[in-house]
Structure 1
């Protein structure tokens, strides 16, 4: 999530999409999905949209979206959630 947030802030979300996908999905649709996803993981739960709003945001071509704030776990501890396994293997 940290990388997505940083790309969002830099305006480079499009660079994360596999070029082979560009024939199936538009860059504007990708940006909209990322925007809505970031709204859903904001620090303050009261700022997060309800599911009916999420559906409306994704379905509408004209709805204006609020600016997302930092994702909850990004703001607290730099991207790692306590107690969640990382990509590193713990087996020896």
Structure 2
């Protein structure tokens, strides 16, 4: 239960509705500013060559081996197990080749 000044706001009264609308508008403004700053930070990091996210476990060498084994008829499950990656990761990187 709310106590103090917020508990005394009556949303049924005109001044209470006004107060709630002002608080809501301030919260919306603050959220917009946070999103703008976050986007600016991500753009600045990208401009400096930094990328976010987890590094991929599949590089070109692993992908070449996977494609060769797939061409020989080996199952994706067996290839994934041998290369130490998940089937989903392998399917994602093989794309239409699988």
Which TM-score band applies after superposition, normalised by the shorter structure?
Answer: under 0.3
- Structure exhibiting the larger radius of gyration computed from Cα positions: 2
- More helix per residue: 2
